[in-house]
C-alpha cells in the first residue's frame, strides 16, 4: 500500500513538473512571435503645408545644428535615388542636385515635378536622426530675375563675391529665391563725385550731378554702384544685389539732392562719405541737413550711410551723415542707417568705426570685388592711386572700406522695395535691422552686441507677411562754410 502510494505521488509530481515546463516553453515562443509595436516616427514637417500648392520639385532640409551633409547617400531610399548614380536609374524619384544654402540648411531638387515624391521624401527623411526639420516649398516663393537654373547667376566673377555668400556673407541667393516677379523699377540715389555711367555692367545715370567723362574720380562711385546693382546673368563681371537704376547725386548740395531724389521717385539713397570742413577736420552736424533729412523721411525716403574708416567710437566722435542715425542725439530722425564693415572672417574690420548707438548694422567691407572704370584699367593707370584698390580684371577691382559695406545694405533695401514699393521707412528698418544676425564683438575691451546684415531673413520677413504660406524662420550746432565729401575707401592690402 505504501509502495503504491509512493508510485502515485511520483507520477503526480512528474505531471506537475512537466506541466510547468510546458507552460514555460509555450510562453517564450509567443513573446518572440508578437514583438512590441514600434513607436511611430515623429513628423518633422507641418502636414498643413501639403494642403497648399507646392513647388513639387524641391524641398528644404534643416539638419541638426552643426551637422554637415558629407554623405549624401543617407537620403537614398527604396524609391528615392540620385540622377548621377546609374544604380538608381529605375527608382521613381531622382534627385538632380543638393544645394547648401548656409549652416545646416540644404535644398534638394528633383528632376521632375511630382507632389508624391515630396510626400515620400517627407515621410522617409523624417526617420533620419540627423534631420531637424523638413520644409516643403510653396509656389508663392518664386524667383525674380533669376530662374531656378540661374541661381547662382552666371556672372564671371560671381564666385569671388564672398560678401554675397551664405557662408560668411549676406546669403543673397536665398533672398533672391524669396523674391517674386516684379514690374517695379527701383531707383537708387548715390552721393558720389562721379560714376562710369557707360560701364557695360551698370544701369547708371546722371542725377542732379552730371557724370563726367573724365573718370579719374569715378572709381569710388562706380565700385559702390556695382555692389548695389551690377547687371546680373550677363555672363560677364559681377552680380549686383538688386537689379536697379543708379542715379548720381551731389553730396555737396546735400539738401537740394534730397529734394531732387524725392521729385524723381528715389526713396533709397546710399551715402558712402562724410562731411569735412575745408581744413580737413570732421564737420559737425548741420541744422539744414537735419531739416532736409526729416523732409526726406516724410516723403518715404531712407539714407544708408557708411560709418567711416577712422576705427573710432562714433558715439564719442560722430561723423555725418552717418551720425544722424544716433537716436540719442537726434531723436527726431528715423530714416538714417549707419553701416560698419566686417571682413571675410566675420570680424570687425580694423578700420571700421563702431558705436553702440551710432552704428546700427555691419556688412561685408573688406576685399570687395565690384565694377571699376574700364578705361582706367585699359590705360594702365588703375593702380596708380592708393584709393583705386586692387586690379582683378579690366573694369573690376577689389576695394575695402565702410563705403563698400553701406551699398550691401542699400541693395537689400532695394530688394525689399521691389517686392513692396509701398513699404514705409519703419517697415524697411524692421526688415533690415530686426531680421539681422546678432553676435557679440569685443572692441577695445568692451563687449558690443552688434547686428550683421542677412538678406535672406530680411526679404523672407516680408515674404512671410505677404503670403499666408512660405518658409518659417526670427552738442552744439555749427554750419560749415565749405563742405567736402570724404569717401570711405581704404587702400587694399593683400
Q: Dump strand ranges (E) for 90-237.
A: 93-102, 105-110, 131-138, 187-191, 204-206
CATH number at residue 160: 3.40.50.200
Strand partners, 66: none
Opening angle at CA 298, ends 296 and 301, nearest 5: 45
Q: Residue 101 is part of which domain span?
A: 47-139
Count of Cβ atoms closer than 10 Å to residue 298 Cβ: 11
Whether residues 193 and 214 fall in one domain:
yes
User: Of the candidates 305, 181, 180, 170, which has an alpha carbon nearest to the alpha carbon of residue 241?
Assistant: 170
Residue 87, C-alpha cell as written in the block: 544604380
Q: End of a domain among 90, 116, 139? A: 139
Opening angle at CA 484, ends 254 and 380, nearest 5: 110
Phi then psi dihedrals of residue 179, to 5 deg:
-75, 150
Strand partners, 341: 363
Phi then psi dihedrals of residue 224, to 5 deg:
-60, -45
Whether residues 206 and 109 fall in one domain:
no
Cα–chain center distance at 312: 27
Whether residues 369 and 483 fall in one domain:
yes
pLDDT of 47-84, one tens digit each?
776 765 566 777 888 899 888 888 999 999 999 999 88
Long-range contacts of 380-383 (CB under 8 A, 24+ apart): 382/219
Which residue positions in the chain have pLDDT lower than 50?
Answer: 1-38, 139-149, 466-486, 489-494
Whether residues 185 and 308 fall in one domain:
yes
In a domain, 27, yes or no: no
For the whole model, what pTM was predicted? 0.68
Strand partners, 240: none
In a domain, 28, yes or no: no
DSSP string, 14-48: HHHHHHHHHHHHHHHHHHHHSPPPPPPPPP-S-GG
User: Of the candidates 339, 382, 405, which has an alpha carbon nearest to the alpha carbon of residue 219?
Assistant: 382
Residue 31, C-alpha cell as written in the block: 513573446
CA distance 308 to 488: 6
**Which pLDDT score is estimated for 469?**
25
CATH number at residue 131: 3.30.70.260
User: Of the candidates 233, 209, 231, which has an alpha carbon nearest to the alpha carbon of residue 221?
Assistant: 209
**Which pLDDT score is estimated for 57?**
74
Whether residues 326 and 457 fall in one domain:
yes
In a domain, 42, yes or no: no
Amino acid at each position: 500500500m505504501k509502495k503504491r502510494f509512493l508510485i502515485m505521488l511520483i507520477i503526480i509530481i512528474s505531471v506537475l513538473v512537466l506541466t510547468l515546463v510546458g507552460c514555460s516553453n509555450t510562453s517564450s515562443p509567443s513573446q518572440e512571435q508578437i514583438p512590441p509595436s514600434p513607436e511611430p516616427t515623429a513628423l518633422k514637417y507641418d502636414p498643413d503645408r501639403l494642403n497648399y500648392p507646392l513647388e513639387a520639385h524641391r524641398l528644404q532640409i534643416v539638419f541638426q545644428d552643426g551637422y554637415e551633409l558629407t554623405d549624401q547617400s543617407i537620403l537614398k531610399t527604396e524609391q528615392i535615388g540620385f540622377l548621377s548614380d546609374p544604380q538608381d536609374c529605375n527608382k521613381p524619384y531622382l534627385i538632380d542636385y543638393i544645394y547648401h544654402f548656409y549652416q545646416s540648411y540644404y535644398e534638394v531638387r528633383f528632376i521632375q515635378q511630382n507632389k508624391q515624391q515630396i510626400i515620400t521624401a517627407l515621410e522617409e527623411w523624417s526617420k533620419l536622426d540627423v534631420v531637424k526639420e523638413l520644409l516643403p516649398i510653396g509656389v508663392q516663393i518664386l524667383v525674380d530675375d533669376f530662374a531656378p537654373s540661374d541661381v547662382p547667376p552666371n556672372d564671371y566673377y560671381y564666385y569671388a563675391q564672398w560678401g554675397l555668400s551664405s557662408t560668411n556673407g549676406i546669403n543673397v541667393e536665398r533672398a533672391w529665391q524669396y523674391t517674386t516677379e516684379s514690374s517695379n523699377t527701383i531707383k537708387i540715389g548715390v552721393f558720389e563725385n562721379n560714376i562710369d555711367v557707360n560701364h557695360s555692367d551698370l544701369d547708371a545715370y546722371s542725377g542732379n550731378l552730371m557724370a563726367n567723362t573724365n573718370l579719374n574720380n569715378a572709381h569710388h562711385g562706380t565700385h559702390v554702384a556695382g555692389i548695389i546693382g551690377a547687371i546680373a546673368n550677363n555672363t560677364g563681371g559681377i552680380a549686383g544685389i538688386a537689379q536697379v537704376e543708379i542715379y548720381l547725386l551731389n553730396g555737396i548740395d546735400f539738401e537740394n539732392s534730397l529734394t531732387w531724389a524725392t521729385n524723381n521717385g528715389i526713396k533709397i539713397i546710399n551715402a558712402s562719405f562724410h562731411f569735412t570742413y575745408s581744413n580737413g577736420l570732421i564737420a559737425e552736424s548741420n541744422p539744414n541737413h537735419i531739416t532736409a533729412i526729416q523732409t526726406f523721411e516724410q516723403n518715404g525716403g531712407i539714407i544708408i550711410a557708411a560709418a567711416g574708416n577712422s576705427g573710432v567710437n562714433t558715439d564719442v566722435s560722430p561723423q555725418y551723415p552717418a551720425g544722424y542715425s544716433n537716436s540719442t542725439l537726434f531723436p527726431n530722425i528715423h530714416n538714417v542707417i549707419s553701416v560698419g564693415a566686417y571682413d571675410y572672417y566675420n570680424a570687425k574690420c580694423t578700420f571700421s568705426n563702431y558705436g553702440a548707438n551710432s552704428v546700427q548694422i555691419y556688412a561685408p567691407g573688406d576685399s570687395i570685388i565690384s565694377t571699376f572704370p574700364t578705361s582706367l584699367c585699359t590705360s594702365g593707370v588703375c593702380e596708380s592711386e592708393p584709393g583705386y584698390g586692387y586690379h582683378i580684371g579690366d573694369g573690376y577691382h577689389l576695394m575695402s572700406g565702410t563705403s563698400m559695406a553701406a551699398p550691401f545694405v542699400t541693395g537689400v533695401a532695394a530688394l525689399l522695395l521691389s517686392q513692396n514699393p509701398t513699404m514705409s521707412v519703419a517697415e524697411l528698418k524692421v526688415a533690415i535691422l530686426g531680421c539681422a544676425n546678432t553676435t557679440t564683438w569685443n572692441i577695445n575691451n568692451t563687449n558690443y552686441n552688434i547686428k550683421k546684415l542677412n538678406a535672406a531673413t530680411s526679404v523672407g520677413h516680408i515674404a512671410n507677411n505677404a503670403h499666408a504660406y512660405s518658409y518659417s524662420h526670427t552738442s552744439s550746432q555749427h554750419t560749415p562754410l565749405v563742405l567736402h565729401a570724404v569717401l570711405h575707401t581704404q587702400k587694399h592690402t593683400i
